[in-house]
Chains A and B, each alone.
Chain A
Amino acid sequence: AQKVTQAQTEISVVEKEDVTLDCVYETRDTTYYLFWYKQPPSGELVFLIRRNSFDEQNEISGRYSWNFQKSTSSFNFTITASQVVDSAVYFCALSEATLDSNYQLIWGAGTKLIIKP
């Protein structure tokens, strides 16, 4: 069965520290997609990244980086030199490229990230 686990319910760090948010997934399929979304207190879900199962290259975008490891079924997200504006709930999500996926994203429970000034 498909499942996404974000074991860290809440993380609190001081500004400028690096922080890694963990995401572990379960899927039966060889073709699937993984996503990260950010949800600040305003409520809007902001798309951060989409990665398919055949592309294991790590991704870097400014202070954000993602480490995709199929061997451990993980897709972790690191923020370098965190800033107060990074405070938000971060969701990891999985989608399988099959007809049975029923158009659904399988969401993790989310990790609340608090960056203290």
Chain B
Amino acid sequence: DTEVTQTPKHLVMGMTNKKSLKCEQHMGHRAMYWYKQKAKKPPELMFVYSYEKLSINESVPSRFSPECPNSSLLNLHLHALQPEDSALYLCASSQWTGGTDTQYFGPGTRLTVL
């Protein structure tokens, strides 16, 4: 079963709010990813966790803070976001890291920053 779940599906927040996005997978995958996708664009990689350790941070502003509490869970903590951060945030997982392994994506969280 290739399933990645994400909550919430939709999120509206003000620029002073603090919120968190959650991602979960039960496929035994050891790599998890956060992507940001703007309308009509391909996904942009934000963070990669490998064996619960942050291995890639693609120069993402500090107002985005990832966390991997265990091998099945991935969180993205949001604080003091800007309206331009409004986007679809996608979580993905793969059995291993290395880019060549198939990444399975969740349904995404549509974030609107007012």
B107's partner among A44, A52, A110 (CB-CB below 8 A) is A44
Q: A91 → chain B, closest Cβ, in Å? A: 6
Query: Which residues from B are CB-within-8-Å of A105?
Result: 45, 99, 103
Q: Which residues of A contact B40 (CB under 8 A)?
A: 110
Residue contact B107 to A42, C-beta cutoff 8 Å: yes
* Chain A residues, CB < 8 A from B99: 33, 95-97, 101-105
Instruction: Find out whether the CB atom of A108 lies under 8 angstroms from the CB atom of B42.
Output: yes
Minimum CB–CB distance for B92 against chain A, Å = 8
Partner of B90, one of A33, A45, A109, A110: A45
Q: Which residue of A is nearest B98, CB measured?
A: A103
- B106 touching A44, Cβ below 8 Å: yes
Number of interface residues of B (CB under 8 A): 25
By beta carbon, the residue of chain A nearest B89 is A43
Q: How far is the CA of A35 from the CA of B105 in the complex (A)?
A: 13
Nearest-neighbor residue (CB-CB) of B33 within chain A: A103
In the bound complex, do residue A35 and residue B102 qualify as a contact, i.e. CB atoms below 8 Å apart? yes
Q: Which residues of A contact B59 (CB under 8 A)?
A: none
Residue of B whose beta carbon sits closest to that of A96: B99
CB distance from B42 to the nearest CB of A (A): 3
Least Cβ–Cβ distance between A2 and chain B, in angstroms: 11
Report the Cα distance A115→B55, complex, angstroms: 41
Q: What residues of chain A have their CB less than 8 Å away from a CB belonging to chain B?
A: 32-33, 35, 37, 42-47, 50, 52, 91, 93, 95-97, 101-105, 107-110
The 6 sampled A-B contact pairs (Cβ below 8 Å) are A32-B100, A43-B107, A44-B106, A96-B100, A103-B45, A107-B42
Supplied contacts A43-B108, A45-B92, A103-B56, 7 more A-B pairs, CB within 8 Å: A35-B102, A43-B88, A45-B43, A101-B100, A103-B99, A105-B103, A109-B41
